[in-house]
Amino acid sequence: MFDRLEDLIARFEEIMNELNEPTVTENQARFRALMKEQSDLTPLVEAYKEYKKCNETVSDSLALLEAENDEEMREMLKEELGDAKKRIEELETELKILLLPKDPNDDKNVIVEIRAGAGGDEAALFAAEIYRMYVHYAEGRRWRVELAECEEIGIGGMKSVTFTISGQGAYSVMKYESGVHRVQRVPETESGGRIHTSTISVAVMPEVDDDIDIVIEDKDIRIDVMRASGNGGQCVNTTDSAVRLTHYPTGIVVYSQTEKSQLQNKAKAFALLRAKLYDMEQQQRHDAEAEMRRSQIGTGDRSEKIRTYNFPQGRVTDHRINLTLYKLDKVMNGDIQEIIDACIAADQAAKLAKMNQN
Count CB neighbours of 265 within 10 A.
24
- In the chain, the amino acid numbered 39 is S
Helices and strands, number each (H, E), in the chain: 9, 11
What was the pLDDT predicted at 277?
A: 84
What was the pLDDT predicted at 311?
A: 93
8-state DSSP, 20: T
What was the pLDDT predicted at 301?
A: 45
What was the pLDDT predicted at 287?
A: 62
Distance between CA atoms of residues 18 and 70, nearest Å? 51
pLDDT per residue, tens digit, the chain (358 aa), is 778 888 888 999 999 998 998 888 888 888 888 998 898 899 999 999 999 999 999 998 899 988 878 888 889 989 999 999 999 999 988 888 888 888 888 888 999 999 998 888 889 999 999 999 999 999 999 999 988 888 888 788 899 999 999 998 899 999 999 999 999 998 876 666 788 889 999 999 888 876 666 778 888 888 888 766 654 444 554 456 788 888 888 888 887 877 777 888 888 888 888 888 888 877 776 665 544 444 444 444 445 789 999 999 999 999 999 999 999 999 999 999 999 999 999 988 888 887 776 6
Domain 2-99 has CATH 1.20.58: yes
Q: Quick check: 286 and 299 in contact, CB under 8 A?
A: yes
8-state DSSP, 26: G
Half-sphere exposure (CA, 13 Å, Cβ side) for 322?
0
Distance between CA atoms of residues 96 and 198, nearest Å? 41
Query: What does each C-alpha distance from 310 to 67, 115, 136, 158 come to in angstroms?
Result: 63, 19, 20, 20
**Domain boundaries defined on the chain:** 2-99, 110-348
What was the pLDDT predicted at 24?
A: 86
What was the pLDDT predicted at 285?
A: 66
Pairing of strands 158-166, 179-185: unpaired
Distance between CA atoms of residues 300 and 287, nearest Å? 10
What was the pLDDT predicted at 300?
A: 41
Domain 110-348 in this protein, CATH class? alpha beta
Q: Quick check: 193 and 97 in contact, CB under 8 A?
A: no
Q: Identical fold at 2-99 and 110-348?
A: no
- Quote the crossing angle between the two packed helices 28-67 and 2-19, to the nearest 10°: 130
Distance between CA atoms of residues 332 and 316, nearest Å? 10
| pLDDT digits 0-9 by tens, 324-358 | 999 999 999 999 999 999 999 998 888 888 777 66
8-state DSSP, 208: P
What was the pLDDT predicted at 230?
A: 54
What was the pLDDT predicted at 262?
A: 80
What was the pLDDT predicted at 143?
A: 95
The span from the first CA to the last CA of the chain, in angstroms, equals 13
What was the pLDDT predicted at 295?
A: 43
